Structure 1
Amino acid sequence: MHTYPDSVRFLYSLGNEIKAVKFGLETIRAVLDALGNPHTGPRFVHVAGTNGKGSTCAMIESALRAAGFRTGLYTSPHLLEPTERIQVEGAPVSRDEFVAAFHAVHDAAERLFSAGRIEHHPTYFETVTAMGLLIFRERGVERVVLEVGLGGRLDATNAVTPELCVITPIDYDHEAWLGNTIEAIAREKAGILKPGVPVVSAHQRIEAQAVLMRRSEDLHCELIQSNSDAAFEADARGSTIHWEGLTLRCPLAGLHQVENTITAATALKQLGVAPGAIEKGIARTRWPGRLEYLAQSPDIIADGAHNPAGARALADYISRFHKGRKVWLIYGAMRDKSVGEIADTLFPLADELILTAPSSARSLDPASLLSLCGNVNARTAPGLPSAVRMAQAGAAPEDAIFISGSLFLAGEARALFCHDHDSEP
């Protein structure tokens, strides 16, 4: 396993992150200890929630970088390549760095397994989490923004002790692992809270807010509620928010990004970041695959909405900013998603619906979605390239083509239209 493709193949052999999910911190802590505890150096902002985690992380990291800090960003999943998950100073790590970190973590894990200190090899997510923390130490990163993978309480990222926790909106997703109620899901998310560590929370459902309040009181954490009652203007490409004397120009599309921007700004204020750096950092934020415009005439927009809350945000965006235009929706999903509720939200907004499947073993057969289409004109395509060709052949220049249902599908869309990345191994 001396090459990048070899390393990536081994990681994939560990199973996808949902199928191979293993809750518990014993393995990641043992591996980090064997690596010299790289997570004890930088200062961390730890971000959990259901929707908006990645966008919020990206804004916080961008502003910390604008403030002059050497930054690290750890997020998941990736859109095109695993290197995207580990970023230093706003750029994905190189393949060589990725391979070196993989070997260090893999070798440490093999030694631990041989000595009987761990029961099995770390999962994909545990391995890459340890790799990220190791790279951040080796690159001299000062501030790391760390996104939870799944849940929070027993997620591998919870091995760190942060200077600040952030909770984005909590909603339904991954119910099989996190629970079937908002309260149960919120308890898992609130598991990242640490004694005495302040926590910034976005506006939450009443049930989730009650859980966060109880948990913060038990741990003597200051709970800082972001003030989402700010004036703003928005168009199809972003928003301008007037918040506590600042003018926050968010380049990420969708009204849901207003909440994420305010949450990020509240966190940055708590961290003591200067107002000018907050404004500059948010204005420079990039977060691909989320209402991202990939082509024009017709507009082609990729969005990774994959749960009911994400579908509601996308539906709101289409209704507000594409009213009167013919809407084409290319939709593909994973088997573990609430496709019925998502279909009820999105499909009626489509004038033309093309059902397809992401390139994943977990993808849902598009033919199984036909029964959810109601009166919408729907057809199937075997994969995204053929679905895009089908839409482009029928769409007028003034139409809008949306590609949604999965971050995997959004990543495939970027691969079709963007040329600023290396190809997959």
Structure 2
Amino acid sequence: MTDIALNSGDTAWMLASTALVLLMTPGLAFFYGGMVRTKSALNMMLMSFITIGIVSTLWVIYGFELAFGYKADSPWYGNLSLSGLGGMVNDLTNNGGVYPIPVLVFAAFQLMFAIITPALISGAIADRTKFTAWAVFVAIWSTIVYFPVAHWVFAFGNKVGDTVTGAGFLASQGVQDFAGGTAVHINAGAAALALAIILGKRVGWRKESMRPHSLPLVLLGSGLLWFGWFGFNAGSALAANGIAGLALLNTQVATAGGLVGWLLIEKIRNGHATSLGAASGAVAGLVAITPACAFVAPWAAVVIGLFAGIFCALAVGLKYKFGLDDSLDVVGVHLVGGIWGSLAVGLFGTQVVNSVGVDGLFYGGGTELLTKQALGVGMVALYSFLVTLVLGFIIEKTIGFRVSKDAEVEGVDLSEHAETAYEMSSSSRGGLF
């Protein structure tokens, strides 16, 4: 038993944060939808929306228990009882300690992370993916990759007195990931790399123009992501407190740094700073600060964001050198940005801003934390890549993952959905109304 009572202020903040994080997936749909060609815009956006439907359903059946259940007392996964969330209505959250918020609110908040992670992967295979195959992939990948990895990273166990049971492997090893650098971004980026390899290059890649069809949609999407990310990072404090404030401020300044860093590279390399570069740089900054937002000082957040923009801009250019058709730069932004942000905790982490944090290399803590961060990066990246490679291969060889060449040339909007994003012809009924 615990004498901790429900806190209405913290609960209200978590309800708002949950809504903010949900908004990120429609924001991602706009971001990705604007980056593809006109003939693929609807399909690209629907790949995010179907993810909301599939993952939400699986989450209440077994996903939350598989990620955060503690009764199995396993460092690799939670419960497999399929008992659902119905019996937890009156429970408070217990994740390494009791929080004064309902466990159903915590479950809803974590659901939004589970939704956006597979949605991020879709950008790597834009313009050429069967919608049904994508839906099957999302259901299986969430079950065998995201839910277990979320347990590794985010599950701090059930604490009763001084005893903690069922903590995830990486969490128990001291890997610090405040809001998902490993479980979300590295996880999605490694999976994106595997699927880009399985599906291969788009028809006409590097021969035809594949420029974004709507840069205003890209900017709108990045703005919604930026806005929703405050819930993503600051909400991970699970309270309306000073740590949430630190995470929010660090999120803002790191994103600004990422935008500036990417545009700096564009200006030096190409002579022009672009709107696509600004949007991509902002997202790179958001990705990099995610694991570090509650463990570093604001000045370090600026540095992390600035270098995230630089590193990710340079990484995106490498896909042409390696012949990898990562359509919307998921690998270059989320994998590279996630790796940099996760390792940066081991460099800039400090107990000065967060007493439960650990001093990193630049604060006299040596390489111990950096080594742990590298362990988290390596384990998640390797597991996600290998499992996704096998899963993608099986789907491709059974139901087929990629549309036919004719369907791709015609456009996946028409071939997969029998509709288009824009009506180009005038109405056959005549008249203006």
TM norm. shorter chain > 0.5: no
Report which of the two has the higher share of strand: 1
> Under a length normalisation based on structure 1, what TM-score does the superposition of the two structures give?
0.28
TM-score, L = length of structure 2? 0.27
Which has the larger share of helix? 2
